[in-house]
């Protein structure tokens, strides 16, 4: 049986937490200077550094000039009005979030479940409370941050948190890929041969990150619901509301459309039960996953040219 890999830190003081400003960091973890334009304004990022910018809700154009993964290309990024900010990754480098568990004492660990995932960084396999990102736009989310501690911040030794009775909580930090490898060596005790170096055959099968526009709404096929007309009608109405919300730049309108989408989801779930065939359950799951993916990080690549 695989052991549970947990990073936990004992806490001494408890209080509420607050979030940061919704800024984007254009990051350069490489040894070459990055030259680009953001909405027509020149931006240079020296090796190992980042530049912070504020991006309002709407479309923004990044012209990649030098030191990027696609010099000569332009990338249109759509920032949702509720975005929490994040990282712009013009080199398509690896970034990893680590979920750290802070507890009052070791006995409290049993109150928390940790989701371990398998990721590949620098041709090695790591298993733990990690998530890998390497897209051009890596958002912190909308309404809630996918991480609290940024690439230039350390996880604290002692954290001030609100304790709801379980004796602790999770805190999440995002690392550059190379920093994650160093952090892993310092904080995690290797087990079961981890990290495992990939074979040449395994390494050859890894898909390299691509600079492409992402909109999973375009891939939704309502014909998959044909055998259940009522479910198909409800799914179609829900998809139309999601598309309207996607196109809206007004935060108040988006909030109203969100409420409408929640009502439609409730209607859809009335038809979901154990008597439905497997293919309809799969179509429903794909519908929900695809409509939530675009907004999960609060920012997405809309066009590349």
pLDDT of 132 reads: 95
To the nearest whole percent, how much of the chain has pLDDT over 70?
83
pTM of the prediction? 0.79
Point out the residues of the chain with pLDDT beneath 70.
1-22, 104-110, 158-167, 189-193, 293-294
The answer to whether the beta carbons of residues 175 and 151 sit under 8 Å apart is yes
Per DSSP, what are the bridge partners of residue 161? Answer: 14
Dihedral sign of CA atoms 173, 174, 179, 181 in order: positive
Spatial separation of the C-alpha atoms in residues 260 and 243, rounded to whole Å: 12
What are the structural domain ranges in the chain? 8-205, 216-294
pLDDT of 218 reads: 79
Per DSSP, what are the bridge partners of residue 127? Answer: 118
Instruction: Provide the 3-class DSSP secondary structure of residue 3.
Output: coil
End-to-end CA distance of the chain: 48
Spatial separation of the C-alpha atoms in residues 102 and 117, rounded to whole Å: 19
pLDDT of 163 reads: 55
pLDDT of 51 reads: 97
Spatial separation of the C-alpha atoms in residues 173 and 96, rounded to whole Å: 8
Spatial separation of the C-alpha atoms in residues 276 and 291, rounded to whole Å: 22
Tokens of 138: 């890596």
């Amino acid at each position: 049986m695989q052991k549970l890999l947990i990073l936990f830190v004992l806490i001494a003081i408890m209080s509420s937490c607050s979030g940061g400003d919704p800024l984007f960091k254009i990051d350069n973890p490489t040894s070459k200077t990055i030259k680009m334009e953001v909405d027509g304004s020149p931006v240079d990022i020296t090796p190992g550094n980042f530049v912070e910018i504020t991006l309002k809700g709407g479309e923004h154009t990044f012209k990649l000039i030098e030191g990027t993964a696609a010099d000569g290309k332009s990338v249109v990024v759509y920032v949702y009005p509720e975005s929490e900010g994040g990282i712009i990754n013009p080199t398509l480098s690896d970034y990893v979030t680590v979920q750290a568990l802070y507890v009052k004492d070791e006995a409290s660990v049993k109150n928390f479940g940790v989701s371990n995932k398998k990721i590949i960084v620098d041709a090695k396999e790591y298993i733990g409370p990690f998530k890998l990102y390497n897209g051009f736009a890596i958002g912190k989310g909308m309404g809630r941050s996918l991480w609290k501690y940024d690439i230039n911040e350390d996880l604290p030794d002692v954290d001030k948190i609100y304790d709801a009775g379980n004796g602790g909580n999770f805190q999440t930090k995002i690392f550059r890929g190379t920093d994650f490898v160093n952090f892993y060596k310092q904080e995690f005790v290797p087990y079961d041969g981890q990290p495992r170096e990939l074979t040449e055959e395994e390494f050859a099968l890894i898909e390299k990150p691509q600079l492409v526009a992402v909109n999973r709404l375009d891939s939704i096929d309502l014909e998959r619901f044909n055998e259940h007309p009522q479910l198909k009608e409800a799914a179609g109405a829900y998809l139309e509301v999601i598309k309207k919300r996607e196109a809206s730049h007004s935060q108040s309108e988006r909030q109203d459309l969100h409420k409408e989408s929640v009502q439609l989801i409730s209607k859809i779930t009335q038809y979901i039960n154990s008597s439905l065939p497997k293919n309809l359950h799969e179509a429903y799951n794909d519908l929900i996953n695809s409509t939530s993916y675009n907004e999960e990080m609060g920012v997405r690549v809309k066009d590349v040219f």
